Chain A
Amino acid sequence: MDVTHVSEGQANRETSYAKMAIWWFLASEVMTFGGFLAAYMLYRMQAAGSWSVLAAGLNPWIATANTVVLLTSSLTIVKAHQAMQHDDQARARKMLGLTVLLGVVFLGFKAVEYSIEISHGYTPVTHIFWSFYYALTGLHGLHVVAGIVVNAVLFVHAGKGKLTLARAEAAGLYWHFVDVVWVFLFPLLYLSY
């Protein structure tokens, strides 16, 4: 079977299998989080400001710190991708490791925040605002966990020098998406009226 035969359709898009697939996946993820955010925003508008007294139960400072952590992790993973463009496996490995670490720190902050809120008696069934809070941050948290697992696997690959540019780019795109979701979640939950 003739492997060297390169067809016109494949040549110019050879490296984009992973990217094409990730972008299609992210399109459907935007709609899933879109459905969630639409429901939350519509209910908050319907409540006409009565939720801001409930939102006072949140701690915006931990959330701000979390946003810093996640933005920084976006920086480190894009540096990992940049390193892979020079096929610098070692630097990519360092950056991926940093991304995984920052992801874990994010989850740590989240756990602390959850424990504070639950100790104040705010549980998912307390009020629909809290139901949304736990549903939204919970689903986002799950996506962060999935991202950490993927990045950790790529961290190990980079250690063995087997990391490919396509995979690093795909993981990067997914992680940036998770960061963009938080960029919208943060003001919607913590800062809005």
Chain B
Amino acid sequence: MASESHTNYTAIWAVLLALLFASVGAVYLPFSPALTTAFIFLVATVKAVMIAVYFMHLREETQLIRSLLWAPVVLFIIMTLALVPDIVVERLSDGSAPEVSAPAH
């Protein structure tokens, strides 16, 4: 069925760990929060793609299964971007919101 994959999984695993420590370390570097956040999520995306391609053998899959991964990711991005102008807005903070809220402060 799938070709005898001789890719060295341990090497990929090592790279993943390296990327992990890079992103954890990045938090302590004196860059602006925006830059650090961008770097961290870039690293996370690279790790996700590596796992998908190597560990989940995506390269050997049919186009249908690859599209199964792309469709939800694209829909997720569209939904999140479409919601930004509605949720990420300044809200009332002068106490006129509901009194009947949870005991949580």
Count CB-based A-B contacts (< 8 Å): 121
**CB contact under 8 A between A60 and B104, given known A74-B55, A179-B51, A191-B40:** no
A contacts, CB < 8 Å to B: 15, 19-20, 23-24, 26-28, 30-31, 34-35, 37-38, 41-43, 45-46, 49, 60, 64, 67-68, 71-72, 74-75, 78-79, 82, 85-86, 125-127, 165, 172-173, 176, 179-180, 183-184, 186-187, 191-193
Judged by DSSP, the binding face of B is helix
**CB contact under 8 A between A176 and B51, given known A27-B72, A31-B72, A184-B44:** yes
B92 at the A/B interface (Cβ < 8 Å)? Answer: no
Closest A residue to B70 using CB positions = A27
Give the residue among A67, A187, A192 with the most B Cβ atoms within 10 A. A187
Among the listed A19, A64, A126, which residue makes an inter-chain contact with B20, where contact means beta carbons less than 8 Å apart?
Answer: A64
Contacting pair B44 A183 (CB below 8 A) = yes
**A residues in contact with B47, CB < 8 Å:** 183
The 8 residue pairs across chains A and B that have the minimum distance between CB atoms = A34-B76, A193-B33, A30-B72, A42-B87, A75-B13, A125-B104, A38-B80, A187-B40
Contacting pair B40 A192 (CB below 8 A) = yes
Closest B residue to A25 using CB positions = B68
**CB contact under 8 A between A30 and B76, given known A49-B33, A193-B36:** yes
B96 at the A/B interface (Cβ < 8 Å)? Answer: no
Among the listed B4, B65, B102, B103, which residue makes an inter-chain contact with A19, where contact means beta carbons less than 8 Å apart?
Answer: B65
A26 to B52, CA, bound (A): 12
Contacting pair B84 A34 (CB below 8 A) = no
